[in-house]
């Protein structure tokens, strides 16, 4: 069963490392000088370099991006397209389903092919993925029409002390994490799931510990090497360039005892801390998708088949539970059961959110030990618009490496949604 005719992800898909937005919570992160379109362009360029495909066969670019962070962010996928080396005759679409944007790009690409209305049969392949710079700016309100310092009206320095009554600055990163519909932040929705599922602080810490231990083991074993394209960064003109090879948030040493000493980050008496919540990082990923028959026709090697997709909604006050109904839909569409799932990549937005989903996954037959066996966002980070595509690459390459058959990629989405993809390995 599954999608027919079948759509595949081609071998050669790549992602950047995920880099913390700050170093030691003080200095600018290693990718702080890159925009979202630059990061997405890097991922596309690396994918096209490692996928032996004629660029003239690429008919569309679809990239996820959750929020604008730079002056060029409005161009989204278009900026990623030309930075990735594709010509001006290739159209580009930016999709935004918040945390699920990277997975949504793959779903939209598949749907465009299956519908056929906008699918270019002469250029039958598409680039899908996502890019996110979490270097979100502070936003100045109630200043339109006024001069900014002594510079031109639209650019220049701002003396915060000189702002008149009614003008104010807000952090767009924190603003984006608050849902007015639920009347709480994303972290508070995870705390609510923790209460409903009776998850303790110790369980949350142990899950965060597991994520980091598994990620470090996978990194040291080289399991991420085939999916990551290293990025060289010139941090300072007087210093040697730095090559970022791996996700920077992974700790070489981590202690449950030290984790237990951290204060709750979002609620008095809460269980979420900096050590059991997803890291805030920048990153991007890209892949080429197409009909399996077209891949065979052009002598291209498929990595995995897209078997099924699912998207679902839930109460925004427990937004992190969204993967549960989304996975149910995706499994049904793929025609497989939870017991057949060999590998599951569940975005770890927050430990209690992930644990709640894993409890319900087990009821579907998905073995908890098969969920995030290589760590996930607590250890490596969650670049919002890119995460879905990052996890898709990780899942597809893991299935091939372990010679396993079925994988699930899923994540919760701010506002109360979930999205899921089912992959079949073609090792």
Residue 17, CB-side half-sphere exposure with 13 Å CA sphere = 22
Query: Which residue among 110, 128, 314, 412 is the active-site one?
Result: 412
Residue 354, CB-side half-sphere exposure with 13 Å CA sphere = 28
Q: Sign of torsion, CA 254 255 256 262? A: negative
Instruction: Indicate the Cα dihedral angle 206, 209, 213, 218, nearest 10°.
Output: 100
Q: How far apart are CA 399 and CA 283, in angstroms?
A: 22
Query: Which residue among 99, 110, 314, 357 is the active-site one?
Result: 99
412 as an active site residue: the answer is: yes
| DSSP states along 133-178 | ---PPEEEES-TTS--TTS-TTSS---GGGPPTT-EEEEHHHHHTE
How many C-beta atoms surround the C-beta of residue 60 within 10 A? 25
Which H or E run includes 331?
Answer: helix 323-334
Non-local (6+) Cβ contacts of 192 within 8 A are 184, 317, 318
Cα–Cα nearest to 281, from 257, 248, 314, 303: 248
Q: How far apart are CA 70 and CA 19, in angstroms?
A: 17
Which H or E run includes 405?
Answer: none
Q: How far apart are CA 274 and CA 248, in angstroms?
A: 15
How many C-beta atoms surround the C-beta of residue 169 within 10 A? 14
The two structure tokens encoding residue 233: 């960064």
Q: How far apart are CA 250 and CA 255, in angstroms?
A: 13
357 as an active site residue: the answer is: no
Catalytic residues, by residue number, are: 99, 412
């Amino acid at each position: 069963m599954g999608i027919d005719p079948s759509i595949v992800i081609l071998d050669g898909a790549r992602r950047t490392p995920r880099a913390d937005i700050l170093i030691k919570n003080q200095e600018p992160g290693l990718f702080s000088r890159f925009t979202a379109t630059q990061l997405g362009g890097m991922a596309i360029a690396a994918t096209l370099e490692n996928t032996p495909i004629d660029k003239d066969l690429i008919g569309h670019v679809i990239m996820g991006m959750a929020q604008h962070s730079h002056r060029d962010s409005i161009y989204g996928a278009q900026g990623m397209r030309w930075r990735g080396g594709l010509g001006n005759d290739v159209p580009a679409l930016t999709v935004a389903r918040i945390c699920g944007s990277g997975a949504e790009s793959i779903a939209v690409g598949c749907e465009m092919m299956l519908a056929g209305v906008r699918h270019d049969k002469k250029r039958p392949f598409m680039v899908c993925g996502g890019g996110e710079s979490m270097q979100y700016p502070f936003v100045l309100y109630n200043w339109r029409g006024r001069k900014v310092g002594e510079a031109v009206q639209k650019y220049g320095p701002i003396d915060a002390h000189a702002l008149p009554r009614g003008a104010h600055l807000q952090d767009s990163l924190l603003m984006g994490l608050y849902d007015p519909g639920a009347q709480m932040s994303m972290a508070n929705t995870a705390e609510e799931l923790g209460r409903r599922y009776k998850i303790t602080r110790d369980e949350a810490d142990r899950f965060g510990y597991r994520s980091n231990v598994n990620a470090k083991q996978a990194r040291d074993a080289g399991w991420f090497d085939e999916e990551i394209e290293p990025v060289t960064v010139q941090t300072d003109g007087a210093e040697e360039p730095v090559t970022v090879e791996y996700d920077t948030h992974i700790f070489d040493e981590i202690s449950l005892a030290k984790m237990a000493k951290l204060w709750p980050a979002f609620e008095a008496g809460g269980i979420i801390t900096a050590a059991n919540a997803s890291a805030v990082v920048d990153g991007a990923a890209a892949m080429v998708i197409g009909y399996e028959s077209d891949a065979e026709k052009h002598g291209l090697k498929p990595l995995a088949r897209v078997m099924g997709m699912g998207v679902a909604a839930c109460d925004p006050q427990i937004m992190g539970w969204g993967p549960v109904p989304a996975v149910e839909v995706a499994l049904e569409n793929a025609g497989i059961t939870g017991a057949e799932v060999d590998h599951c990549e569940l975005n770890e937005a927050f430990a209690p959110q992930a644990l709640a989903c894993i409890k319900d996954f087990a009821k579907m037959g998905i073995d908890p030990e098969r969920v995030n066996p290589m760590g996930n966002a607590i250890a490596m980070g969650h670049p919002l618009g890119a995460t879905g595509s990052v996890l898709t690459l990780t899942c597809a390459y893991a299935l091939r490496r372990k010679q396993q058959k079925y994988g699930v990629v899923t994540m919760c989405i701010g506002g109360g949604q979930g999205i899921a993809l089912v992959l079949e390995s073609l090792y």
